[in-house]
Amino acid sequence: METLEKIKEIKKEQSAQKFPLGGFRGLSGGEAVLEAFLAEDVDTIFGYPGGAIMPIYDALYDYNDRIKHILVRHEQGAIHAAQGYARVSGRTGVVFATSGPGATNLVTGLADAMIDSTPVVCITGQVFAHLLGTDAFQEIDVINITTPVTKWNYQVTDASEIPAVLAKAFYIAGSGRPGPVLIDITKNAQLQQFDYEGYKKCDHIRSYRPKPIVRKEYIEQAAELINNAERPFVIFGQGVILGNGEKEFIQFIEKAGIPSAWTIMGMSAIPTDHPLGVGMLGMHGNYGPNVLTNECDVLIAVGMRFDDRVTGRLDKYAKQAKIIHLDIDPSEIDKNVKSTVPVWGDCKETLPMLTALVQQKKHEAWHEKFKVYQQKEDEKCIIPEMNPITDELTMGEVINVLNELTKGEAVIVTDVGQHQMVACRYAKYNNSKSNITSGGLGTMGFALPTAIGAKFGAPNKTIIAIAGDGGIQMTIQELGTIMQFNVDVKILILNNQFLGMVRQWQQLFHGKRYSFVDITSPDFVQVAKGYYIDGQRVSEREKLKDALQTMLNHKGSYFLEVMVGKENNVFPMVPQGRGVSEIILSKEEL
Amino acid sequence: MQKEKNIAAVIPPLPVPSFTGGGGGAVKQEFTITVYTENQIGLLVRIAIIFSRRKINIDSLNTSPSEIDSVHRFTIVINETEEVVRKLCRQIEKQVEVLKTYYNNNDEIVWQELALYKVPTDVIAEQVQVERLLSQHGAKAVVIRKDYTVFEVAGHREETDNLIKVLEPYGLIEFVRSARIAIIKNSEGFHKKLKEFEYREPGEAITENEFLNQNEEVFSM
């Protein structure tokens, strides 16, 4: 608060010149925004200035010693970076953007954060309040544009609203099921001097219940089902990570001895080599977890939302099983899959209650079944992927070598497409919050800017952005951000010279009619060099390990392009419109 | 992540209680959704897009104050299956500024719609049977002028529709009908419920844009 007093003193002097008539009465709206950030322990802002947010940036000039501002190259980059920051740290990411195009450029990131429940607070500048609705320069109705893609949004037209509104914004973004919040502040409110009465954190909104209360009778019913189950199966999602419930989760599955599979978003909540971890669910998940979903007798879903990429055809999904669904968001219960026992609540609270009531078990015969399927998958998919008979590299072997070198300690940020599926299938993780990917929205261009944010959220970790030749070109301008701020991000491009996932579908389901998936790329390494980022390209197997080691050892960011087979496919696969147990291991089975 | 003091979570968000006895199954029927909310600019859009996103038509929508100062009440009528309506209600209740959502079928509510009819005055004055018809339908004159008279009828859809047909031959000039408003038979009102929301502060006053009429006085760039 001492520094605030100092600022007030200085401002008073300045304002005597700036505001000869009114004089200084406290803080400007712009300063109030930054005071709120300090109170919320914000240390990094990802942003891009512009006309309608200039008063906030003017205020930022005086706060620059306490809050870092990372100037990105596009507002989409800013919000993805904030997502990366939030996903690795569990804290709320913060974004500045100006009105009009600045705000509309945030929309993809907001949608991504919304569907993947990422806490982000975006501040957008807006034209003067008296110009609203006049089609003023760079005016856009950002509140209505972003309503479907925000957990909450609000337009401020008076500076005195700012402290309370920002307190609400941080509370809503970070509590319950997290999500993005956007606050639009008109320029007059940013400039306006008002009587600042300090910042009070918000911990209650009467119409908002972040967590449903846990109902004991459901816990008891769930425990009874689990105790009587012969083939129980746990499937878990990001809820375990968002609720900081990793420890509680592991205690639960270890006591009950239940095989557990993760969704793409739940990945890394438990170490990938945990003996009870049986792999990934979903369209390109592992064989056993998919098939055995339709053989278990009790399915325990923890912090996951039965996305269609996980369930395949719903009328062929776990019809034989009793379903226990643990989720913090009541609207997820019974949305896609009808539950036998709904357990509402934060899994950090519900899991220990459940653990206390379940019996210690091993379920050895049931575990054996997963191993049988694992062997089949090894034979048909994994061994050929790791030991290809051709000279062409496969994506899987690149990830495999990477695992050897990182030993599961790196944070891997993936883009969207084949490389994403392969990375998530084969990457090893020891620590939670290590797998950052765009799961729900499937945003190509996600990896590079998100990795930048992740580095600021976890500065001591190795951050590896893995992208395809398509996705990287969607946000490649963020190499500029890496250059300017010396961000240590390892960029690994798996280049198959195609939009690979679409090509795979065209091959399998559209009679190999390759319609506009043949994408030409620049000389990526030269592009990186243009940004003063070192790098190289490899296509030979014998050089792969050295190249990856060079990348990891390199001081600062590094750009490694690996040429991989052009027409490799990702298998296993649950073809769209089929049930999870109809998963195929090769295209011959289609 | 910031850990909230979880005061607000004392009460479970129950499954939206349906007072419906028989399971509707997959049959579409008329449901009336009642939503208790804070008064906030933009909330109407947030609620409306829950329907439009799923391409569901809203048959009728009314917003009004409730029995509690600062709590608003939306009354929404749609024609859908109970399963869909239940999911919609959960999505509505998820909105930060929504306190509570209920849905009911027509047996569980008392409802009314208000209709206004503008008819030439001379027709009514000259033809006795029109007067009789109007009183049969419970129509009440709101305005009587030399050239036209405006009647009002409150009732169900069929009742107000019937009177249109009756008046058409007599030169009905204009017709308008309000959205449905409904009272839930089984409801004890919202006062008690609101206490469960840990009433600590009244709803916030909304801040409207006060600058729209000052565009010539304010400097801008």
Summarize pLDDT for A321-333 with one digit per residue, the tens.
999 999 999 999 9
C-alpha triplet A258, A260, A263: angle, nearest 5°: 160
**pLDDT of residue A19 exceeding 60:** no
pLDDT band at B196 (very low <50, low <70, confident <90, very high): low
Q: For residue B75, what are the CA distances in angstroms to A4, A442, A495, A506, B179?
A: 48, 36, 55, 48, 8
Separation CA A333–CA B13 (nearest Å): 12
- What would the DSSP string read from start to end of B48-65? HHHHHTTT---SEEEEEE
Q: Determine contact, residues B108/B34, Cβ cutoff 8 Å.
A: no
The candidate with the shortest Cα–Cα distance to A45, out of A453, A514, A446, is A453
Which residues of chain A neighbour B89 with C-beta distances below 8 Å?
Answer: none
Spatial contact of A161 and A189, defined as CB atoms under 8 Å apart: yes
The answer to whether residues A102 and A126 touch, using CB atoms and an 8 Å cutoff, is no
Whether A415 has its CB under 8 Å from any CB of chain B: the answer is: no
3-state helix, strand, coil in chain B (%, to 5): 30, 30, 40
Question: In this prediction, what percent of chain A has a pLDDT beyond 70?
Answer: 96
pLDDT band at A3 (very low <50, low <70, confident <90, very high): low
Contact A207/B38, CB-based, under 8 Å? yes
Those residues whose C-beta lies under 8 Å from the C-beta of residue A434, and which sit 6 or more positions away, are A88, A268, A408, A410, A411, A412, A461
The DSSP bridge pattern shows strands B98-105 and B140-144 to be unpaired
Residues A262-297, buried b or exposed e (16+ Cβ, 10 A)?
bbbbbbbbbbbeeebbbbbbbbbbbbbbbbbbbebb
3-state secondary structure of A538: strand
Contacts with B, A 44-73, CB within 8 Å? 51
C-alpha closest to that of A425 among A473, A377, A389, A460: A377
Q: For residue range A201-254, list pLDDT tens digits in order.
A: 999 998 999 998 899 999 999 999 999 999 999 999 999 999 999 999 999 999
To the nearest whole Å, the CA of B77 is away from the closest chain A CA by 21
pLDDT tens digits, A295-313: 999 999 999 999 999 999 9
What are the catalytic residues of A?
75, 137-138, 187, 501
Q: What SS3 class is residue A114?
A: helix
pLDDT band at B11, cuts 50/70/90? very low
Any CB–CB contact under 8 A between A442 and chain B? no
Contacts with A158 from chain B: Cβ below 8 Å: 207, 210
Q: What is the pLDDT, as a whole number, of residue A174? A: 97
Q: Are A159 and A193 in contact (CB under 8 A)?
A: yes
- Residue B197's pLDDT is 66
Question: Given this model, what pLDDT does residue B123 score?
Answer: 86
* Residue B201 scores a pLDDT above 80: no
CB B26 within 8 A of CB A226: no
pLDDT reported for residue A440? 97
The reply to whether residue B42 touches residue A153, judged by beta carbons under 8 angstroms, is yes
pLDDT at B14 over 50: no
Q: Which residues of A368-379 are buried (b: 16+ CB within 10 A; e: fewer)?
A: ebbeebbebbee
Q: What pLDDT, on a 0 to 100 scale, did the predictor assign at position A11?
A: 64
Chain B CB contacts of A209 below 8 Å: 8-9, 11, 13, 197
Q: Which two tokens stand for residue A268?
A: 């890394």
Cβ-nearest to B1 among A129, A174, A187:
A174
CB-nearest to B1 from A90, A129, A204 is A90
**Alpha-carbon gap, residue B34 to B157, rounded angstroms:** 19
Apex CA B214: angle with CA B213 and CA B217, to 5°? 160
**A72 closest CA partner among A566, A482, A488, A502:** A482
User: Chain A contact for B193, CB < 8 A?
Assistant: no
Whether A207 sits inside 8 A of B2 (CB atoms) is no
Angle (CA) A244 A250 A256, round 5°? 135
Model confidence pLDDT, tens digit, residues A58-113? 999 999 999 999 999 999 999 999 999 999 999 999 999 999 999 999 999 999 99
Is residue A318 within 8 A of residue A296, CB to CB? The reply is: yes
Give dist(CA A286, CA A263) in Å, integer: 11
The CA–CA distances, whole Å, from A78 to A45, A71, A116, A170 equal 9, 8, 17, 18
Place A17 in a pLDDT band, splitting at 50, 70 and 90: low
Q: Residue A7 above 80 pLDDT?
A: no
Cβ–Cβ gap B210/A129 under 8 Å? yes
Q: Which of A171, A207, A213 sits opposite B4 (nearest CB)?
A: A171
- pLDDT tens per residue across span B95-131: 999 999 999 999 999 999 999 999 999 888 887 788 8
Task: Provide the mean pLDDT of chain A.
Answer: 95
Query: What is chain B's mean pLDDT, rounded?
Result: 83
Give the CA radius of gyration of chain B. 22
Cβ under 8 Å to A: B residues 2-41: 2, 4-13, 15, 37-38, 41
Residues 99-128 of B with CB under 8 A from A: 99
> Is residue A156 a contact partner of residue A117, using CB atoms and an 8 Å limit?
no
- Residue A380: pLDDT band by 50, 70, 90 thresholds? very high
Interface A-B: count of C-beta contacts within 8 A: 134
Tell me the C-alpha to C-alpha distance, in Å, between residue B139 and each of B142, B147, B182.
9, 18, 20
